[in-house]
Structure 1
């Protein structure tokens, strides 16, 4: 993770220390985990939006609309995760190269069949859930209830979405 950011005090030019009750070491570990959650979320957003644009077949309308709801939710989640990283005093990753290094979600080349898109999105939502879950120990160790709450909310969304997508595959 990049260096901890510091806000300059306008008149003195000195850094303002972050004193939110979480040690710097714990904040760094939490921010590192959240950076992976952010990268996975962005990667899944991009994949879902791509599938929305390119889905075809008898379930076109259903999947096109479902994918739109899902990529919109993912897009909105990006800010919450990035702003939590910033609240902890670290810069949020925001480039394709950073996301590529941090994500656990593989890109999909070409245009898969509609039900393969659904399978790939199930795997993507499960991957984000695993990444979020892996960040909990650092948040708990640091007593970071705000991050734990954010992770809980993200887990609920990803687990529910994976379940709904899996239901289409029966």
Structure 2
């Protein structure tokens, strides 16, 4: 025979099961809304750039195939590694995060590329611009963090800006003077 719970314990169990996700934070409701909104938009952009990077990695061709293929694989890994810390930061500040591909599509500001063929140099140039755009967006979110005194998120963003600028730099240098041997 199953054990019955006291009315108080039954009510507490029901509340736990039916309670909305609400992580306690000292940042306040306004800060939670602003920070989680800004971070979710960044997360959508990171997923969009990740998928585009993998798309270009999978469809790379030409004389520099190996170098570009490996570069984009490394960059895809870097981007994917950002996703969980961004999403977890949203939860830590009291928000909820992305739930689907559709949610990503609604929030992303980075353009998709569904072209059947993209030249290797155009791939690198497009990803370079996407990473430049991401760095600018990260800087804007850093300001939101500063306005809301969210030091922890700001600290993470500083590292993500550095990583994003490094990706942009590598993409730029890999495609610079490609037809002339770098001279």
For normalisation by structure 1, the TM-score amounts to 0.88
Deviation digits for residues 87-137 of structure 1, max 9, x if unmatched? 112211131221112111101122200010000110111121121111122
Number of residues of Structure 1 aligned to a counterpart in Structure 2: 162
CA–CA distance in 1 between the matches of 2:158 and 2:44? 17
Q: Which of 19, 41, 45 is the matching residue for 2:46? A: 41
Q: Which of 70, 73, 88 is the matching residue for 1:68? A: 73
CA–CA distance in 2 between the matches of 1:66 and 1:58? 14
Q: Which has the higher Rg, Structure 1 or Structure 2?
A: 2
8 Å CA contact 1:23–1:142 kept in 2: the answer is: no
CA RMSD of aligned residues (A): 1.9
Change (3 A) 1:33 1:108: same
Partner of 2:127 in structure 1?
A: 121
Change (3 A) 1:89 1:10: farther
SS at match of 1:13: helix
Partner of 2:161 in structure 1?
A: 155
SS at match of 1:76: helix
Instruction: Please identify runs of 4+ aligned residues in structure 1 that moved more than 4 A.
Output: 9-12, 14-19
Partner of 2:15 in structure 1?
A: 13
The alpha-carbon deviation at position 169 of structure 1 amounts to: 2.4
Q: Which of 51, 59, 65 is the matching residue for 1:54? A: 59
SS at match of 1:40: helix
SS at match of 1:50: helix
Structure 1: runs of 5 or more not aligned? 1-8
For normalisation by structure 2, the TM-score amounts to 0.82
8 Å CA contact 1:104–1:127 kept in 2: the answer is: no
